Amino acid sequence: GLAGGFAGAMVGQLIAGMGSGASNVPVMGLIASWVTPRRMGAASGAMVAGSSVGLIVVGSAAPAILSANEDDGWRICWFIFGGMAMLLSGVAYFLLRNSPSEKGVGRLGAQAMDPVPTIHSRTLEWARVYRSRRVWQLGLMYVAFGLSYIVFMTFFRQQLTDEGGYTESEAGRLYMIMGWVSLLCGIWGLVSDRIGRKRALAVVYLVHAAAFSIFGLWATSAGFTLSVVLFGLTAWSIPAIMTATCGDMVGSRLAPAALGFITVFFGVGQALGPIIAGAMADASGSLLSAYVFAGGVALSGAIGALCLKPAGAGGATNGEHAK
C-alpha cells in the first residue's frame, strides 16, 4: 500500500509471497500431527476451504473500495489485507498448538489399536524427504498447479474486461461467485481418502485443464461462467491432496518437511507463470494463448498424477507410513 512505483510494489509482493509460503507450509503441516492418515484428506480439504472465504470477501469488498476511491483504492485494499493478516497471525499464535498432546486430546480419527506418535527429533531421517523419488515427482507435479492456476487468477479481470466486455463490478461479482462455489472444493480431500491420491489428483488436474482452456477459448458470458464453476469446484483441492500425499509418503513427523520441499516447486511455478503468460499475450495480442498454455500445463499435471506410484493413499493407509 505504501509503494510509490514498480520497485516498491515488487518488493512488497516479494515479502507477501514469502509470508504466504512461510505460513501455509506449517499450517498445512499441522494436519499430519492432528489427524490420522485415514482422515488426512478430509481434514486437508476442510482446511483449504478457508481460502474460499477470502475469495468471497475480496470479490465483494475490493470492487466497491476501488470504485469509491479511484486514485487510492488499491492502497486502501492492501492496507486492509495487511491489517487482516496481522490480526489472524495473533489469533493463530494464541489458538494453534503443535500437537494434540499439548491439549490433552488424541489425534482425530485415532482408534484404540493405533500407535501414539512420539517426538524424537534426533531420529528424524531428513534424507527420506530429499532423496525420495516420489517426493521429487510430487514437487514437479506441484509446479504444474502453481504455474497454471496463477495465470488464471492473475489475468482473470483483464480477460473479462478486454475480451468479455465486463465492467469492474461485474468481474468482481463473477470472482465472488467463484469463491462461493469453491467452498465445495474441500470435498476432494475426502474423495482422495476413498479413491486414492493419484486418481483424485488426476481428476482435479483434468478439471483445471478444462476450466483454463474454456476461459480462453470460449470468451462469452456462458464460457466464463462455466470456467469459473469448474475451477471453483476444484480450486484449492490440489494443495489439500498434496498435503495428505506427503503424509502418506513420509509419515506425520516428516510430512511438514516434505510439504515445505514441494512448496518450493509450487513457488517456482507461481513465479514463472505470469512471466511466460505475459510474454505470450504480448506476442499474440490477446490472452487466448496464455490460457490455452495454462490448460496444457494443468493437463501435464494430470498425466504426472497418473504416473505417480501409490504410497498407501486414501483409506488403504493404515499405518503411520506408506509402505
H-type alpha helices, the chain = 6-34, 40-48, 50-68, 73-95, 127-130, 133-154, 156-162, 168-181, 187-195, 197-217, 221-234, 237-250, 255-284, 288-306
Span of 76-90, 110-124, 164-178, 275-289 with lowest mean pLDDT: 110-124
Span of 127-131, 143-147, 194-198, 203-207 with lowest mean pLDDT: 127-131
Tell whether the model's pLDDT for residue 106 goes beyond 80: no
Kindly report the pTM of this predicted structure: 0.78
Cα(172)–Cα(182) distance, integer angstroms: 15
Cα(6)–Cα(27) distance, integer angstroms: 31
Mean pLDDT over 165-184 rounds to 87
Q: Domain residues of the chain, as ranges?
A: 6-99+130-310
- Averaged pLDDT of the chain: 82
DSSP code of residue 323: -
Tell whether the model's pLDDT for residue 198 goes beyond 80: yes
Q: Torsions phi, psi of 303, nearest 5?
A: -65, -40
Cβ atoms of residues 227 and 155 within 8 Å: no
153-162, 182-191, 208-217: which is most confident: 208-217
Q: What is the four-CA torsion angle of 207, 210, 212, 218, rounded to 10 degrees?
A: -140
Position 317 scores a pLDDT of 39
Cα(71)–Cα(101) distance, integer angstroms: 51
What are the grid coordinates assigned to 169, written together?
Answer: 463490478
> Cα angle vertex 126, ends 122, 131, to 5°?
155
Q: What is the four-CA torsion angle of 179, 181, 186, 192, rounded to 10 degrees?
A: -130
Within 8 A by CB and 6+ apart from 18, the residues are none
The angle that helices 50-68 and 73-95 make with each other, rounded to 10 degrees, is: 150
pLDDT in tens, 268-321: 998 899 999 999 999 998 999 999 999 999 999 999 999 987 654 443 333 333
Place of cell 488426476: 202
Cα(116)–Cα(62) distance, integer angstroms: 46
CATH of 6-99+130-310, one of 1.20.1250.20, 1.10.275.10, 1.10.4000.10, 3.90.1150.10: 1.20.1250.20
pLDDT in tens, 2-28: 777 778 888 887 888 777 767 777 777
Q: How many other CB atoms are found less than 10 A from the CB of residue 118?
A: 8
DSSP code of residue 236: T
Within 8 A by CB and 6+ apart from 38, the residues are 109, 193, 315, 317, 318
Mean pLDDT over 50-57 rounds to 75
Q: How far is CA 207 from CA 49, 51, 118, 203, 220, in A?
A: 18, 19, 39, 6, 19
Q: How many other CB atoms are found less than 10 A from the CB of residue 43?
A: 24
